[in-house]
Structure 1
Amino acid sequence: MAARPGSVTFVAVLTYINGILNIIGGVILLITRDQMAGPNGGSVAGITTAAIISILLGIIVVIVARGLLRGSPGARTVVTVVMVIDILNGVLMLFTGQLASGIVQILWSLLIIVLLFTRRANGFFTGR
């Protein structure tokens, strides 16, 4: 059984942070949706949907992050899929004028994906 590489522990911590930030962001979006809707914003229904999706993805990521620490290949797959969705959301942010947020989200998600698939991480996840 391979020892857990530091990069996997680091990714698990980043994943926990990502999930918590998704939950917090979704809750803030839910609370402020009426102020965000309007002529230059989206519809209340669209904002509510985005907030709920953010909260649900955050909960999934927090739950699955524990599996990363145990070396679960399924957890790595779920986190990778969620990070790809986050990248796509970051690209969408770029096209909606949220340049800094989009770039940060894309780079954060790419970092997590890259660290999940290093040689040592591959050995850890396949050795389970």
Structure 2
Amino acid sequence: MAQRPGSVTFVAVLTYINGILNIIGGVIILLTRNSMVSGRDSAALTGITTAAIISLILGVVIVIVARGLLRGSTGSRAIVTVVMIIDILNGVLLLFASQVVNGVIQILWALLIVLLLYTRRANDFFAGR
């Protein structure tokens, strides 16, 4: 059984941080949503509440995926890969929307994550699970 490489640990830690920030953000939005819109705009309040709940759910899913990465789950690896491919496509869209710096950063970051998950040592680690 292959030992977990540092690249996988690094990606998992970043994934944990992302999940925790999603959860914190969702809680903050839920706690402050009434101050974000007037009490008469129920549609906006519903939208903000829905966004907060989605953020909380995504945060929990992301934390579960991070845990899976640390355990060598190929499913978690696939989920992170798909999300990073979507991030790359979003980065390309940003390039066309004249958001060149943001687009380049998003593309490079997503590529880095994918490359770290598919090094030779990472492949051996996930194959050994």
Task: State TM-score, norm by structure 1.
Answer: 0.69
After superposition, residues 89-128 of structure 1 pair within 5 angstroms as 111-128=112-129
- SS in structure 2 at match of 1:43: helix
> Contact 1:12–1:69 (CA<8 Å) still a contact in 2?
yes
Structure-2 residue corresponding to 1:4: 4
How far did 1:86 drift? Answer: 6.7
- SS in structure 1 at match of 2:19: helix
Q: Which moved more, 1:18-27 or 1:60-69?
A: 60-69
Q: Please give the per-residue CA displacement for 1:14-59, whole angstroms capped at 9, x wherever unaligned.
A: 1111110000011111112222236xxx811111111111110110
Distance 2:61 2:84 in 1: 12
Alignment gaps of 5+ in structure 1: 93-100
> Contact 1:61–1:79 (CA<8 Å) still a contact in 2?
no
After superposition, residues 1-128 of structure 1 pair within 5 angstroms as 1-37=1-37, 43-83=44-84, 111-128=112-129
> Contact 1:37–1:47 (CA<8 Å) still a contact in 2?
no
Distance 2:73 2:26 in 1: 27
Distance change >3 Å, CA 54–CA 85, structure 1 → 2:
farther
Q: Please give the per-residue CA displacement for 1:49-91, whole angstroms capped at 9, x wherever unaligned.
A: 1111111011011122111111110111233345566778899
Distance change >3 Å, CA 5–CA 103, structure 1 → 2:
same
Alignment size in residue pairs = 121
Q: Report percent identity of matched pairs.
A: 74
- Once superposed, what is the RMSD of the aligned Cα atoms? 3.6
Q: Please give the per-residue CA displacement for 1:85-111, whole angstroms capped at 9, x wherever unaligned.
A: 67788999xxxxxxxx99987776554
Alignment gaps of 5+ in structure 2: 94-101
Amino acid at match of 2:51: A
Task: State TM-score, norm by structure 2.
Answer: 0.69
Asked which structure has the greater CA Rg, the reply is 2
